[in-house]
Amino acid sequence: MTENRIVPNRKSLFLRACRGGPVEHVPVWMMRQAGRYLPEYRAVRAQHSFLEVCKTPELAIEVSLQPFRQFAVDAVIVFCDILVPAEAMGLPVEFQDAGPVLPRPVRSHSDVQALRDFDPDKDTKFVGQAIAGLCRELGPTVPVLGFAAAPWTLACYMVEGRAKSGFGAVKQMRYADPALLRALLEKIARNTARYLKAQIAAGAAAVQLFDTWAGELSAADYDEFALPSIQLLLEELAAGETPVIYYSKATNHLLDSVSRTGADVLSVDWRIDLKDARAKCRKRSGPPFAVQGNIDPAVLLGPVEGIRQAVRDAVAKTGGTGHILNLGHGILPETPVEHARAFIEAGQTTPLSAVASSASGI
């Protein structure tokens, strides 16, 4: 199928898809595409710790490029971690086998006041250097993506102190001292805006906000806490022509709300129907809103024909325009490399005309 996969300008393709413009095929990439399922990633990690790879531009560049070399994905996301800004704000972060730990979680007003407004060009300059290096390596025709956590999701880590502890502490804060949670979200939003501005200045063609824990909130709480902090972030970021992608997980109950963040692309998981997401986006005024997603990463553990069918089904739901094909969450470490390849190839070769007629039921 290689002859079908030649894309003269992936960056143009990606940006057209973000704006809902005409495309030859859906652009396709995978969350966590630089990751443990790739032997060449494991080889780097055998020599260097996770944080070392994040903070050493040449290593971050190397692992970010690995999926592009393997599959010619349509976007290269910089290798980094969503907790990097938390550390830059003054919270120690330890990456342990069981996941990240923040030994001094944020619990009080004085904890929030103690958080530093950091300087991305100094405190996290390795991120900008990795993005700039990737842009040099890849040239002007491949989009490099920057990213950060959305404020609510970063607040969960900063308050809980570990990834898998549930949400007891951050929710207790929400109920016992909502003003404290608001102050924390605002501080994160302002710092994240500057952090992403620096990534765009370094050459990021688009940036993605990861709101992995949004689905934990009721609609009322999302609207009261999470949504205003994202809106503040995007206002401060003022990304202009640079598309912002907003990813959330398990947010079917928040579909109205997540389409009101102001982001250009709504990234959803397999529990939201792409048609529903699309319809919600189209009803809104403002710029055309594209969707990203939404294959269950577990589909890539199954047979190749099932992967191809899932891709055809997803592209049929959107007709193929205004759609960036992706997984609904990060690729699983146990995914066979050839299955990841099948996913990328299926996305890049599913013809849009056939799709359109299948989508309209002809």
8 A C-beta contact, residue 184 and residue 122: no
The amino acid occupying position 31 is M
Is residue 302 at the binding interface for a second copy, with CB under 8 A as the rule? Answer: yes
Alpha-carbon span 30 to 183, nearest angstrom: 33
Is residue 303 at the binding interface for a second copy, with CB under 8 A as the rule? Answer: yes
Nearest one of 267, 225, 277 to 245, comparing CA atoms: 267
Is residue 167 at the binding interface for a second copy, with CB under 8 A as the rule? Answer: yes
Please identify, using beta-carbon distances, which residue of 204 and 325 lies nearer to a second copy: 325
Alpha-carbon span 114 to 129, nearest angstrom: 28
String of b and e for 308-333 (b: at least 16 CB within 10 Å)?
Answer: bebbbebbbbbbbbbbbbbbbbbbbe
Contacts to a second copy from residues 187-226, by CB under 8 A: 215, 217-219
Query: Stretches 49-57, 167-175, 202-210, 259-267: which one binds a second copy (CB under 8 A)?
Result: 167-175
Is residue 108 at the binding interface for a second copy, with CB under 8 A as the rule? Answer: no
Query: Stretches 16-24, 63-71, 268-276, 343-351: which one binds a second copy (CB under 8 A)?
Result: 268-276
Q: Which one of 10, 16, 32, 194 is the catalytic residue?
A: 32
Is residue 308 at the binding interface for a second copy, with CB under 8 A as the rule? Answer: no
For the bound state, the minimum distance from the C-beta of residue 208 to a second copy, rounded and expressed in Å, comes to 22
Q: Which one of 19, 45, 182, 308 is the catalytic residue?
A: 45
For the bound state, the minimum distance from the C-beta of residue 341 to a second copy, rounded and expressed in Å, comes to 17
Is residue 304 at the binding interface for a second copy, with CB under 8 A as the rule? Answer: no
Among 176, 240, 285, 286, binds a second copy (CB under 8 A): 176
Alpha-carbon span 90 to 174, nearest angstrom: 22
Is residue 172 at the binding interface for a second copy, with CB under 8 A as the rule? Answer: yes
Sheet holding 265-267, edge to edge: 76-77, 144-149, 206-211, 244-248, 265-267, 290-295, 323-327
**Is 195 assigned a catalytic role?**
no
**Is 19 assigned a catalytic role?**
no
**Is 81 assigned a catalytic role?**
yes
Is residue 336 at the binding interface for a second copy, with CB under 8 A as the rule? Answer: no
* 298 phi, psi to nearest 5 deg: -70, -20
Query: Stretches 40-48, 56-64, 141-149, 293-301: which one binds a second copy (CB under 8 A)?
Result: 293-301
Collapse the DSSP code of 100 into the 3-class scheme (helix H, G, I; strand E, B; otherwise coil) and give the result.
Answer: strand
**Is 32 assigned a catalytic role?**
yes
Please give the angle made by the CA atoms of 188, 114 and 195, to the nearest 5 degrees. 30
For the bound state, the minimum distance from the C-beta of residue 204 to a second copy, rounded and expressed in Å, comes to 30
Is residue 250 at the binding interface for a second copy, with CB under 8 A as the rule? Answer: yes
Length of the chain: 362
8 A C-beta contact, residue 7 and residue 16: no
Please identify, using beta-carbon distances, which residue of 6 and 98 lies nearer to a second copy: 98
- Bridge partners, 96 (sequence order): 99
Copy the structure tokens of residue 280.
Answer: 């919600």
**Is 278 assigned a catalytic role?**
no
Q: State the catalytic residues.
A: 32, 36, 45, 81, 157
Which residues lie near a second copy (CB under 8 A)?
Answer: 164, 166-168, 171-172, 174-176, 215, 217-219, 250, 252-253, 270-273, 296, 298-299, 301-303, 306, 332, 334
